[in-house]
Amino acid sequence: MTTDAINPLLDFTGLPRFDAIKPEHVTPAIDDLLAKSRAVVAQLEAPSGQVTWDNFVTPLENATELLGRAWGIVSHLNNVVDTPELRATYNDNQPKVTEFWTELSQNEALFDKYKALRASSGFDALSPARKRIIDNAIRDFRMGGAELPAEQKERFADIQEQHAAVSTRFSENVLDATNDYKLLIADEADLAGLPADAKAAARAAAEKDGKAGYEFSLHFPSYFPILQFADKRELRETIYRANSTKASEQGEVFSKKDDWDNTANIVTLLKLRDEEAKLLGYKNFAEVSLVPKMAKSPDEVIAFLEDLARRARPFAEQDLAELKKFAQEELGLAELKAWDIPYASEKLQERRYAFSAQEVKQYFPEHKVVDGLFRLIQQLFTVEIKPDQAPVWHKDVRFFRIERDGKLIGQFYLDLYARAGKSGGAWMDDARGRRADDKAVQTPVAYLTCNFTEPAIVDGVAKPSLFTHDEVTTLFHEFGHGLHHMLTQVDELGVSGIAGVEWDAVELPSQFMENFCWEWEVLEHMTAHADTGAPLPRALYDKMLAAKNFQSGLQTLRQVEFSLLDMHLHYDYDASTGKTVQQVIDEVRARFALIIPPAFNRFQNSFGHIFAGGYAAGYYSYKWAEVLSADAYAAFEEAQALGPDATIETGKRYLREILSVGGSRPALESFTAFRGREPSIDALLRHSGMAA
């Protein structure tokens, strides 16, 4: 019996065999794939005749794709069903995988062959997608250190391995600190103001742990309702402090608190990134990060963010003044603390618009939201979404297929609920990319992961999962990424779907989808009251719409603050001077923030986007892409005024010029092809209620 027959991680004949994969399969599978990939590389780096796509790029892609898919499965499992055994084997194998990709990016023989292919007479005859892959590869070899002297190459490789290990440790610390914290409330009276479903979930959590009372954790669906609704100020402070200090030296007295402190990991990561930049001949890591992005320079990004802050500040000042006045006069809060802000904001919104987030939540049971999302996708892009069958990693995971004219074009896993052992947040990742040849099409497969409240059984009664409107928006956002991946029509793996798309443009399709969460024609098909089954009343929708830009000035400033912090840490911060990361944060806040968190706040210690999630010197991408997405959605607003035919045609054009082309051409070209011009910030300001 061959290794391939007994190790499910080496079975690429179909979908991943999540029901069969175990931690003990990881090392032999990865070792096998690394050996095979290195053998192919050895053959390809040997001197040969004329270099062509078919005799060079295709065999290299064939070998490395399988390694990437297998390691992608392991990484995914590590994020969604973390166990001590899986974590150990992941950490054992990560250095080997990182070493291989670093070796590949520094392989001068392969680099020379890509350059030869670029200079060959056959280059002009290649498709635009293949040309872009070759250009991207040459760029990536340079950024991977292929042109460095041998000694510096060795140090560059060490940096990559250390960086991968420290980033993983950062994530593990956040997950461990999150999972470790439990707040048990014995007296229901202490939970005054908390919605019934939040109390029911906490009661179910306590029962699951064999305890009486109500148990809360640092998973967002558990702790945030306390900040938003709990009347007891001390309770809000307790959960705020626990969440804002997790994985830090300020954290609760955990048994492993010191081990989970990310303060040193942050400094290590920043130093490693700075050293990498210097080796490559750049002044700072921000310049390195921007090489494959739309933005041209750190100064351009900083100017964009500071301009946005300037535009948002008057609105933010008005937001804060109103909140302080309301909190003092109506809630008796003479001084607004950090743990009061979500609570006071919710009360103010209820007073001003005569509805609450909890009231809205009752109209968004999971099945109606998911059905409504699918209905919209099917209408916009002329596809069908159907339930499908595949092995999954947890009983709550579902699997679907997307068809057009009866033909399979993509599939996706839907993993919606928060649970122990699962990383927080929401994300889309690719399980398999689209590629095609003369014989067959490999259709794309996506993971769509969220952390919503799971359905609970309380006193023997099953309660459906109810989504806040923010969670509905999150689901649409991640599905926008999924559509970008699954609706691609590009046949070349390196630029199909999200592959090869500039990082600061990759949020365009996701943020674009969020807009539909505010459309009455969409919402009326995706709501049903949890008790009565009645759809969302038009009057309540009108109130939601009126409140859409509630505190948008403050929210915009907050995102600008995070983005500027990220950029300055990677642009002009030097850890060797003795200046701390906290001091950089304080300086950014002094210039741009209106709400200054308490001194103990260590949000950066769980800021996984920039320290473990690929957004280093790239967090600005959310606001940058929001300009693109708002302007793209404005095209649909313009079309709606002209009638259904214009809307349908706009949807077709968006699919053709944005989603279908993936990374096969620069994002700005794709946007301009769709919109007929370059992007404008006007639509974003209008949608945010901050237009002049």
Q: Are 397 and 497 in contact (CB under 8 A)?
A: no
Burial class (CB in 10 A: 0-12, 13-18, 19+), 5: exposed
Hey, what are 56's tokens?
């060079």
Residues forming a β-bridge with 184: 215
**Total residue length of the chain:** 692
Residues forming a β-bridge with 462: 457
Q: Burial code of 169-180, b = ≥16 C-beta within 10 A, e = fewer?
A: bbbbbbbbbbbb
User: Distances from the Cα of 541 to the Cαs of 470, 601, 690, in angstroms?
Assistant: 14, 36, 21
If you compute the radius of gyration of the chain from its CA atoms, what whole number of angstroms results?
25
Please identify which of the residues 172, 478, 492, 507 carries the catalytic annotation. 478
User: How far apart are the C-alpha atoms of 545 and 542, rounded to whole Å?
Assistant: 5
Q: Are 305 and 620 in contact (CB under 8 A)?
A: yes
Closest CA to 227 of 244, 214, 210: 244
Q: Residue for token digits 């399979």?
A: 408
Q: Residue for token digits 């995914």?
A: 76
Q: Are 599 and 475 in contact (CB under 8 A)?
A: no
Cα dihedral 482/484/490/491 (nearest 10): -10
Q: Are 631 and 650 in contact (CB under 8 A)?
A: no
3-class DSSP state for residue 485?
helix
Q: Which residues contact 107 (CB under 8 A, 6 or more apart)?
A: 41, 45, 141, 146
Q: Rounded to 5 degrees, what are φ and ψ at 192?
A: -55, 135
User: How far apart are the C-alpha atoms of 1 and 11, rounded to whole Å?
Assistant: 13
In single-letter form, the type of residue at position 379 comes to Q
Q: Are 667 and 508 in contact (CB under 8 A)?
A: yes
DSSP code of residue 535:
P
Instruction: Report the chain's terminal Cα–Cα distance, integer Å.
Output: 71
User: How far apart are the C-alpha atoms of 341 and 362, rounded to whole Å?
Assistant: 23
User: How far apart are the C-alpha atoms of 115 and 139, rounded to whole Å?
Assistant: 10
Cα 203–426–593 angle (5° rounding)? 95
User: How far apart are the C-alpha atoms of 336 and 511, rounded to whole Å?
Assistant: 32
Burial class (CB in 10 A: 0-12, 13-18, 19+), 677: exposed
Q: Are 428 and 481 in contact (CB under 8 A)?
A: yes
Region of residue 405 (left: phi > 0; alpha: psi -120 to 50; beta: else): left
Task: Say whether 322 is catalytic.
Answer: no
Catalytic residues: 478
